[in-house]
Amino acid sequence: MGDERERRPAAVRHGAGDYTKCRNVGVNAGAAHSAPLVYNAGARDNTRHTPQTSPGSENLEGMLQSTEFLRRPVPEAASWMLTRFTRLITGAQARWLGCAPVPVQRIYFGNHNSHADFALIWASLPIDLRRTTRPVAGADYWDASALKRYIIHEVLHGVVIERSRENSSVDPVDIMAAAVHGGDSLIIFPEGTRNTTDELLLPIKSGIFHLAQQCPQVDLVPVWMDNLGRLLPKGEIVPVPLLCSIAFGTPLRLQPGEEKEAFLARIRNALLATRAAARPEEA
């Protein structure tokens, strides 16, 4: 297949860039689909046709022979090493409890305890899904240095947003929706900031509700992670090897006429239900 990413608008490809271009991508907040959730790569209108990649591209030899590596050798090598490092240091094996890792466009939303959270979600996806899944990240942290900018834009293809409306004239939800309508999946954290308290979750922010309103045709998949806050605590830059876990739960969508508070409660309950399903011994 051709290079799908190169055919997308520049702001959709690189996340930060020209926010005006993001707004021009077009956001359609039409009626939600009423079809049942079927995880069949060929049966959904939001199924992604990802680049054809052999299973061997997950190993070093396969990566070196892949089309993507030949086109972008340095970012692809960095991506491969980041994936291996994340899997090694966390020891995490992805558990798909409520859905399967198939090429369907999705918005993955997880609990947030560490800067390593989105790296673990991203590294837990099969390689074809990683290439079409973009973490949403705060500009205040990821645009702070040249190295961070390179990682988030060139390696992870992140969607970089200003977390404060005071620093941007563009609604961050519009930027995220532009990426979705450009064909990408997203990784987001609806708590809005890292949870350093003893509570399981911070209050869920309204951004995920507004994103679901603009993207009603896309499944939202809850993701629960444990121990990431101790692997890379707030303020630390060097992770400490620690056994972590990650579980993917049952997808949901905004229902027609559903109120914001009811939807945010469902988002919270979906995360807690995924945690409970991953810990049956505590039930």
Helix, coil or strand: residue 280: helix
Nearest to 213 by CA among 50, 51, 31, 22: 31
> What pLDDT does 18 receive?
34
Q: Which tokens is 5 given?
A: 């990413």
Q: Residue 133 corresponds to which tokens in the numbers above?
A: 């899944």
**Ramachandran quadrant class, 26 (left: phi over 0; alpha: psi -120 to 50; beta: rest):** left
Geometric angle at alpha carbon 274, from 139 and 123, rounded to 5°: 45
**Which regions of the chain are under pLDDT 50?**
1-56
Separation of alpha carbons 243 and 248, rounded Å: 17
Domain ranges across the chain: 90-282
Tens-digit pLDDT profile for residues 197-225: 889 999 999 999 999 999 999 999 999 99
Does residue 200 contact residue 184 with C-beta atoms inside 8 Å? no
How far is the C-alpha of 26 from the C-alpha of 4, rounded, in Å? Answer: 18
Q: Are 251 and 35 in contact (CB under 8 A)?
A: no
What pLDDT digit, counting tens, does each position of 105-138 carry?
A: 999 999 998 877 888 999 999 988 998 999 999 8
φ, ψ (nearest 5 deg) of residue 87: -65, -40
Q: Which residue has the tokens 């972008």?
A: 72
Instruction: Give me the residue label for tokens 């991953």.
Output: 278
What contacts 27, CB < 8 A, 6 or more positions away?
174, 177, 178, 181, 214
pTM metric for this prediction = 0.75
Domain formed by 90-282, architecture? 3-Layer(aba) Sandwich (3.40)
Nearest alpha carbon to residue 56 among 68, 47, 64: 64
Please compute Rg for the chain using Cα positions: 18
pLDDT at 283: 59
